[in-house]
Amino acid sequence: MSQYTSEPRLRKRVIVVGGGITGLAAAHRLTEIAPEVEVQLVEAGSRLGGVLQTVHEDGFLIETSADNFITNVPWAVDLCKRIEFEQELIPTREAHRHAMALHRGKLHKVPDGFVLMSPTRMWPILMTRLLSLRGKLRLLGELFVPPSTDDDEALGPFVRRRFGREVFERLVQPLIGGIYTADPEKLSLAATLPRFLEMEREHGSLIRAARVDRRSNRANRNTSGARYRLFAAPRDGLSSLVHAIAARIPQGSIRLNSPVQEVIALENGRWSVTCGGQEKSGLPMDCDALILATPATHTARLVEGFNAALSQLCASIPYAGTALVILAYRREQLARPLDAVGFVVPEIEHRKILAASFSSVKYEGRAPDDHVLVRVFIGGACHGELLERSDEELQSIAHSELADILQINGSPQLTRIARWTGSMPQYHVGHLQLVANIEQAVARWPTLQLAGNAYRGVGIPYCIHSGEQAAERVVAQLTSQRRPDASDTRPR
């Protein structure tokens, strides 16, 4: 029976739109918990993985977007275990699990125990050159700042209120900016870092709360910036994880080069999906449930025909973009050693780069022994205009900045540029209410689910969790629709 017809089928069919890590997780979860369901995953592009892509070239392992994931939330690691991929994961190199920050043109270590904006150790803070004496005294004054009663607050005002302007400008802004590429004056704390709001409410002070955390988690005391011991990456790159998930999805269930042109809501909660890009372009597929694992901007277009209100809500989630310039150098070209996982650049340094990650220091097997591999981030919500520069200009910006900061002689041996325009959803203040409104609108269509990083968390583990939750809700809905009949002998 052709998958493009609307003839009666013995099996339930679920279509997953989007072949990024979210869609793959959703399709895999469907086959895992409901093998009787027919799954069709359709992807507009020529490959799976979405923004995740690993390139092997001349002995280098190059990640063109994310290069790892955090393990203190379980969903990515759990999936790796279930597909027998856990043995492929490697940790960051233990000797270099700290970050640097640029201060007046020089790199300085982020104080040990300072994790995002949670100072767990006072002595390294008091000794750092990143803060003036006045800035350090103001940081200590956080102990006496009363908690706010706001349910949500932008990152910038929150940090300045609690720690002062200098801590925000020199430490928090660049560290958080490197994660979310967001405008800190708009970034919702409740949607991105709710733990810090909880710490303020429960303990009245982030310093007091951090002391409590330190007693229960002493292993983190010598890390800085982010808890790098909690990050992992596939030995052979993130594309190997993408392929491992895809290999667990039944053969014939994945269609590439199939952009969805139209989605129509049918009777009884069923759907019609029309794809283009292949021989049978324009012929619809029918399905019993639909998962849209697409960016919110794309989702808005797909749902517009049957739910204008939902479309408007999805379209109201803003996005920012970034460019990633990957540069390789011979070790002898660097006058100073790379002894950290990377560095961040505060806005007040007035540079054109956001951060740099030392891939060959962070993980083994990323570059030949006599070379280093560096990934430079440009753009973000505050500097989107830089993405309009040509590839040659971006390469020149990245190299000139690195050459000045790291004392590099000569030109890079290898350069690659990846542009991710409009790829990063921005969680502005009020984001959680917006998502609640989206979920309420979707509830009108029980066999429709939305998934992805636009809603309740960015990063690979959250994308996996979102996709798996969507699959579980779909299976629960299809199960509730069944009406067993003693005369019905169809396979379940």
Q: 371-379 and 260-265: which strand pairing?
A: unpaired
Residue 490, pLDDT > 50, answer no
| DSSP letter string, 89-121 | EEEPPGGG---EEEETTEEEEPPTTEETTEE--
Residues in Cβ contact with 217 at an 8 Å cutoff, skipping those fewer than 6 apart? none
* Element containing residue 443 per DSSP (H, E): none
The predicted pLDDT at position 89 comes to: 98
Instruction: Answer yes or no: are the C-beta atoms of 447 and 265 closer than 8 Å.
Output: no
Summarised one tens digit per residue, pLDDT across range 132-168 is 999 999 999 999 999 998 889 999 999 999 999 999 9
The predicted pLDDT at position 185 comes to: 96
pTM (2 decimals)?
0.92
Q: What are phi and psi of 293, to 5 degrees?
A: -100, 60
CA 424-425-430 angle, to 5 degrees, is: 155
Residue 280, pLDDT > 60, answer no
Residue 215, pLDDT > 90, answer no
Whole-number average pLDDT of the chain: 91
CA dist list (Å): 21 to 77, 267, 419? 14, 30, 18
- In whole angstroms, give the CA distance from residue 424 to residue 304: 22
Give the domains, in start order, of the chain with CATH numbers.
Answer: 13-48+238-316+428-481 (3.50.50.60), 68-96+319-425 (3.90.660.20), 111-224 (1.10.3110.10)
Residue 225, pLDDT > 70, answer no
Instruction: Answer yes or no: are the C-beta atoms of 184 and 177 closer than 8 Å.
Output: yes
- In whole angstroms, give the CA distance from residue 407 to residue 333: 8
Please count the residues of the chain: 492
Q: Read off the pLDDT of each residue in 17-32 and give the average, rounded to a whole number.
A: 98
Share of the chain above pLDDT 70, in %: 92
End-to-end CA distance of the chain: 18
What the block records as the tokens of 18 is 């989007």
Q: What are phi and psi of 116, to 5 degrees?
A: 65, -75
Instruction: Answer yes or no: are the C-beta atoms of 241 and 49 closer than 8 Å.
Output: no
Q: Read off the pLDDT of each residue in 439-453 and give the average, rounded to a whole number.
A: 97
Which range among 8-12, 174-178, 420-424 has the greatest average pLDDT?
Answer: 420-424
Q: Read off the pLDDT of each residue in 397-423 and give the average, rounded to a whole number.
A: 96
Residue 172, pLDDT > 80, answer yes
| DSSP letter string, 163-206 | H-HHHIIIIIHHHHHHHH---TTTBBHHHH-HHHHHHHHHHS-H
Q: Read off the pLDDT of each residue in 422-437 and give the average, rounded to a whole number.
A: 97
The predicted pLDDT at position 177 comes to: 80
In terms of C-beta density within 10 A (0-12 exposed, 13-18 middle, 19 or more buried), how is residue 483 classed? exposed
